[in-house]
Amino acid sequence: MRRLAIIGALSACLLGGVPFEAAADEKTEKALEERINRLEKMVEELTRRETKEAKEEGKEKAPAYTFGTTGGGKSIYAKPFVSSPKATVGGYMDLQYRLFNSSNSTGVGQPGTGAGSSSFDQQRFVPFFYSDITDRLKVASELEIEHGIRSKSNDGSGIEVSLEFATIDYLLREPINFRTGIILLPVGKFNLLHDSPLNDLSDRPLVATAIIPSTLSEAGAGFYGTFYPTRLSKLDYELYVTQGFSGYSTVNGVPNTPVITADNGLRAARQRVSTVDDGLDNNNGKAVVGRVAFSPILGVEIGGSGYFGSYDPASKRPLSIWAADWTFQRGPFELIGEAAWVYARDNNRNLDGTFAFDANGRPLPRRMDGFYVQGNYHFMPQFLRRRAPTYFTEASTFTAVVRWDDTNTNSELAATARQRLTLGLNFRPIEDTVFKADYQFNFEDGKNNRIRNDGLVLSVATYF
């Protein structure tokens, strides 16, 4: 208030000090106008600062939405304290303890326990950077450091550090926006929401590591947007042209070795792990990938997505992935899931046309498929809130989870099928931090006792 009084006095002096004769003068008028504008800006700036200071001191609370007696309902139209910073740096990390019956694999791309059957694993440390360059121009990125405790990876080439996504968005209109960079591919929904703190179980679904090898991202460009077809419905889409899979790599000095196998699914064919120079393409063919998600009402969403590209050096062999995903939420209940199908034409043949087999003598896969269905129930016992209100706040919640996974990384064989039943319970003190406890029953080819690899996973994950 003191500052405002000073400014008021200052402006009165300035205005009062102008000679009357000069008022008629156009130049003086202009100068006066400029001064007034400057003063107005200063007053605005001071008011803003004082409000901010008051807020920080807790003197003034942000107004709840109300219509004042004057009617205008200004609180919804103003942007109280919506002062977004130009750039945000943050990240997420997780840590898990795994206790299994054995060190046997629990699935393609699933975390292991090393040489023993139990292990602490700091799997992901992911700093991210977001920048509002202008109202229309945004840069977003996530830098993943996997198993960051190591100074060397298994092959001695260094630790796994890579950009999960790094995009430049140019916003045109709500229904159409341009995006380019390293893009998180919209194949299924899980790949788009793969961050550990978002997920209610510690391990990713089998279909999201073997069939859709998340985190799946490729360099490319395209468009995305949102439509609102009816009052309550929403339709999101993404459509990009990207680099494409590289189905053949140099392995142990042998060029053109097929890397789409039942043991690895599509993981070793991703651009992120491609051995082609600088992760560049192994052919001239580019891929097209897109997803459409329709939400008729809040809490219901059905998504369909597809990926189509070529994976061989001559761009003669197409690879397609089709996926469907669903989310149903009602009250504390949630049912989510995803199904995916892969077709890699002629992957069962070498580039010279002879039949191709893996190290176990099995033909290489042409088709893969899988799905998961997960039920969540969110709850918070009221007695906990009453007894320890600082630990169990309004933002805290428990979630009970059950998930069934089913995949086959070579649909033409039964031996490559895997299933998993996971039971879990997690606690979120706040939405962005989660403590999880899961128990996995792992099945190979429908049998739970073939490989003893059931186990307990305890983990914590948080955004910061």
Partner 1 sequence: MLRCRAFCELVVTTHRLLAMFTCLLLAGCTTLAGKPTATSPCPFEQVWDTAIVALEGVRLQAADKAAGVVETNWVDVESTTQAGALQRDVNKERVKYVVEVKRVGTGAAATVLQLREIWSPMGVKMNQWRAVPGNPREEAAVAAEIARRLKEKGC
Least separation in angstroms between residue 71's CB and partner 1 is 7
Out of 17, 19, 58, 71, name the contact with partner 1 by CB under 8 A: 71
HEC sequence for 66-97 = CCCCCCCCHHHHCCCCCCCCCEEEEEEEEEEE
Span near partner 1 by CB under 8 A; candidates 108-116, 369-377, 419-427, 431-439: 431-439
CA-only gyration radius of the chain, Å: 28
- Go through the chain and tell me how many residues it has: 464
Least separation in angstroms between residue 383's CB and partner 1 is 26
Span near partner 1 by CB under 8 A; candidates 89-97, 332-340, 346-354, 409-417: 89-97
Question: What are the backbone dihedrals phi and psi of residue 56, each rounded to the nearest 5 degrees, phi first?
Answer: -60, -35
Nearer to partner 1, 104 or 233 (CB): 233
Would you give the DSSP letter of residue 301?
E
Per CB under 8 A, which of residues 144..163 are in contact with partner 1? none
Least separation in angstroms between residue 360's CB and partner 1 is 33
Nearer to partner 1, 83 or 252 (CB): 83
Residue (of 206, 325, 225) closest to 267 by Cα position: 206
Q: Is 74 in the site for partner 1 (CB under 8 A)?
A: yes
Least separation in angstroms between residue 376's CB and partner 1 is 16
Task: Give 179's strand partners.
Answer: 169, 222
Least separation in angstroms between residue 368's CB and partner 1 is 21
**C-alpha–C-alpha distance, residues 401 and 91, integer Å:** 25
Q: Is 239 in the site for partner 1 (CB under 8 A)?
A: no
SS3 65: coil
Q: Is 104 in the site for partner 1 (CB under 8 A)?
A: no
**Where does residue 241 rank: exposed (0-12), middle (13-18), buried (19+ CB within 10 A)?**
middle
Task: Give 303's strand partners.
Answer: 293, 325
Would you give the DSSP letter of residue 265?
B
Q: Is 333 in the site for partner 1 (CB under 8 A)?
A: no
Q: Is 85 in the site for partner 1 (CB under 8 A)?
A: yes
Token code pair at residue 178: 């341009």
Which residues are near partner 1 by CB under 8 A? Answer: 62, 64-67, 71-74, 76-77, 79-82, 84-85, 88, 90-92, 126, 128, 130, 140, 142, 165, 167, 184, 192-195, 197-198, 226, 229-234, 236, 294-298, 300, 302, 395, 430-433, 462-464
